[in-house]
Chains A and B, each alone.
Chain A
Amino acid sequence: MAQPETLVLPPKKKRSTKKVVRNWIIAVLLLAMYVWTFSDIGINWSQIFSERTLNNMTRVVPQLFSPEWAVAPDAMRLMGETLAMAYTGTLMAALLAVPFGFFAAKNMFNSRLINTSAKWSLDAIRAFPEIMLALIFVAAIGPSPFAGVLAIAVGSIGMLGKLYSEVIESIDMQVVDSLEANGANKIQILFYGIIPQVIPEFLSYAIYRYEIDVRSSTILGLIGAGGIGMMIQISTMNRNWDEVGMALLIIIIVVTVIDYFSSYLRKRIV
């Protein structure tokens, strides 16, 4: 075998000073972040590694995996309520998001003020988790599925409005131009030129959002906003973990089925 007679090592990689400095800054920032995180966070380790934890573990975990079938009818009824909440909320959001989507689309309103303020309100809504909205609605109108529906309806506008505006911005404007050239008015253009182009995507996104909303409405009951979460809250307080196990099982099955149907429908639409 040919071995080099003398060891010639490859030349050292030349790195620009800018890159070296950048890498060091990143490293220092990361280190600082972790030092801050781990020195500051208050975790009571003696509570976590205690006999109580062990007792909880041996009680909670086996019960979770042996669901209480007696509460299955109740759990299914409440899961039905959850699905209904998600449906009502998503449908309301899907309609309310349409004007937002149009306002935020650059090719519909040629005004920066309208575009940005619509985009900004959509972003603002998206910053809040739905359950936080639910907390406020529960405080306003009392514990009820209605509070959950409102939370979902408001919370979903953010994402749907944003996606709608992207769909609108990507449509074929030549169709609109030619309708305009034919002397169509704004309303006619909307119904013959724009709506037919965006409907399939709008629908597909609304169905996708329904998937997300089903997931989030399962937990709204934890703070009194209806659905299967209420059962989980009560069972946890009574430490009936086998009932929680039943609720969990139903959530997993129903969410999986909904995801499956939703992706099937969306594939058919687009």
Chain B
Amino acid sequence: MKGTPSPQQGTFTPNNPPGLRAQQAKWKLTFVFAVVVLVYMFTSWQTNSSLINLWNGLPDVWRMVGELFPPNWGYATETWGRLSETIQMAIIATTVAGILCIPISLMASSNIAPNKWIYNITKQIMNILRTIPDLLLAVIFVGIFGIGAFSGIMALIIFSLGILAKLLAETIEAIDKNPLEAIRASGGNTLQVIVYGVMPQILPQYTSFTLYVFEINVRASLVLGFVGAGGIGQLLQRSISFFQYGRAMMIIIIIFVAVVIIEYISGKIREEIM
């Protein structure tokens, strides 16, 4: 079997039966598998995360889980202020990003952008923005505006702008171009073409994307407090660094419930719209 370069050309005899898969594909699979395993061995060694480490670490993790229970139920009332701040940050950031993304996404769609330069530049800037993690933006804004919710809001705006503008630009590029032609042919200028031709066509998607980004922003704003950018994350970090694990667990439960409720509502609205 080893001698046959490929099963199509080789002749099969009872002593030389065809494999279940084409020989070439088999080699390829083995090769890919070997590479995946080798890279894993290297990376797990580099990050001290081999299976042995895992085995040794398990008791610590279990101990931690044990300490998280029981949650400190009484602490719940004290978290309300920070929780609402978290959601408020997401609301403000989503609103601002939702407004800003309209002109930006128009500039980033090939069929509406006034020229190639604006299209390419806007698109590239948005691509770059999307590669920067939200928490990193928060670190930078905390460096500029100081600790507080404002820095977090700024980070969320920039972060969600990249996502929203991309999604919306893709929608705009896929709209029916005929009505735009008709409006242009009746003497409409660019703004009128946008308001009468583009907007009605993208409205449902726009609402849906905005809600989706709101969900993302709620999740993101939960952890912005880790770097001092406001919200409930600050409480979580503080209670863990003071070894108040009962409080930490309470916060985790509250976060969980809040995320589930918000995603449920947002999902229902999105279903309704589309």
Residues of chain A with a CB closer than 8 A to B134's CB = 219
Within 8 A of B (CB), among A174-227: 215-216, 218-219, 222-223, 226
Q: How many residues of A contact B (CB 8 A)?
A: 67
Known contacts A132-B252, A232-B136, A236-B143; A40/B88 CB under 8 A: yes
B66 CB to nearest A CB, Å: 10
A95 CB to nearest B CB, Å: 10
- B198: CB under 8 A from chain A? no
Known contacts A88-B43, A139-B64, A223-B237; A149/B49 CB under 8 A: yes
A140 and B61 form a contact (CB under 8 A) = yes
- A161: CB under 8 A from chain B? no
Q: Per a CB cutoff under 8 Å, which of A41, A81, A241 touches B85?
A: A41
- B250: CB under 8 A from chain A? no
Within 8 A of B (CB), among A122-156: 123-124, 127-129, 131-132, 135-137, 139-141, 144-146, 148-150
A146 and B49 form a contact (CB under 8 A) = yes
Known contacts A41-B92, A236-B139; A255/B40 CB under 8 A: no
Residues of chain A with a CB closer than 8 A to B260's CB = 123, 127
Within 8 A of B (CB), among A35-53: 36-38, 40-44, 47-48, 52-53
Secondary structure of the A side of the interface?
helix
B60 and A135 form a contact (CB under 8 A) = no
A132 and B222 form a contact (CB under 8 A) = yes
B60 and A87 form a contact (CB under 8 A) = no
Residues of chain B with a CB closer than 8 A to A131's CB = 135, 223, 226
A244 and B148 form a contact (CB under 8 A) = no
A42 and B85 form a contact (CB under 8 A) = yes
Within 8 A of A (CB), among B130-171: 131-136, 139-140, 143-146, 148-150
Interface string of A43-78 (1 = CB under 8 A from B): 110011000110011001100100000000000000
Q: List 9 A-B contacts (CB under 8 A).
A: A40-B85, A61-B144, A88-B44, A123-B260, A131-B226, A132-B223, A137-B61, A218-B133, A248-B132
